[in-house]
Structure 1
């Protein structure tokens, strides 16, 4: 009987280290196991919806809601990769909503939440977005007007679905190595059971 791939869902706030963790796990495990890392950011709609900031009432392009994603396309790609008999041994789904969306969370064998203090996430976001040409004021205004509200509404509550919470500083802890060791053992046990 063909087996299904082992699925890991990695969620956390903006700039918490989700992509870094997922890519590192993919690198650490990809040599011995056929691994796919699905980044939800790759599925943003070309024309995302708008959002009205709850306090200032300013309008922004929305990027912090599941409505901003091409969910049918994302679900189709995930279903194909995670199907029984798939070519993959391990699938890592990374994104803000990896633990929010029932279709991913309920299929995940391991659920990880990457935690990082909001001030450090903001500093990372400023650096990242200014590198893309946005001004300090544009980045911080948007964060304070909408991003933090969406985080508190949609992202932070999903930490309670996590099997493992990892410190997003990554370099200051062994979270990545612990997760990789656990996954290596699970994948090895799965192979031996066949």
Structure 2
């Protein structure tokens, strides 16, 4: 029994992390036992609050590792990535996939999904308005806290990445490049 090949996929809010993960899962699931590990599944039921650095307005925090149920997440991650687990390939995606040592150090391949901040904001507006928030609520929160957390915690993690890919994912080239590398290194040809 061998340990699964682990790919950590990080990037800013709405950068395309989940899309890349879904596309890689679609490529590999027909060929091997693939597990997608989504860090968003581990948000605390009652997340902490944060005070915006400029406006001093209080917000529910979702852009800091303290918002995650880390012990449960690490336990589940250790189980899915353990030698002898069912999975041959684990795709671990989330804002903090390259920030958290316990995830990053276990990864065989580290990918950072890069996308310009204006494009990430536009995607965030569309997504959160579809969930019932107003334009003003989405943009105010992004400008007050999300961009600061990105600059503080997420952007620096790109230096841990083995591969930085374009988050527009308009074509499949980033998926093809990542898949080709994974196939070769993980022996999933």
TM bucket (normalised to shorter chain) is over 0.9
**Long gaps (5+) in structure 1:** none
Distance 1:172 1:89 in 2: 26
Number of corresponding residues: 189
1:1-194 equivalence runs, <5 A = 2-172=1-171, 174-188=173-187
Distance 2:171 2:115 in 1: 12
**Long gaps (5+) in structure 2:** none
| Deviation of the 1:76 alpha carbon | 0.6
Could you tell me whether the CA contact under 8 Å between 1:167 and 1:173 is conserved in 2?
Answer: no
Distance 1:136 1:165 in 2: 30
Distance 1:103 1:69, change over 3 A: same
* Mean CA deviation greater in 177-186 or 63-72: 177-186
Distance 2:171 2:31 in 1: 26
- The superposition leaves residues 86-108 of structure 1 with CA deviations (integer Å, 9 ceiling, x where unpaired) of 11100010000000000010110
Distance 1:41 1:64 in 2: 11
Distance 1:57 1:187 in 2: 48
| Deviation of the 1:173 alpha carbon | 5.6
| Deviation of the 1:188 alpha carbon | 2.0
Distance 1:86 1:35 in 2: 11
The RMSD of aligned alpha carbons is: 1.1
Distance 1:38 1:85 in 2: 17
What SS does structure 1 have at the residue aligned with 2:182?
A: helix
TM-score calculated relative to the size of structure 1: 0.95
| Deviation of the 1:33 alpha carbon | 1.0
Distance 2:88 2:165 in 1: 23
* Mean CA deviation greater in 167-176 or 51-60: 167-176
- The superposition leaves residues 35-54 of structure 1 with CA deviations (integer Å, 9 ceiling, x where unpaired) of 00011001100000000000
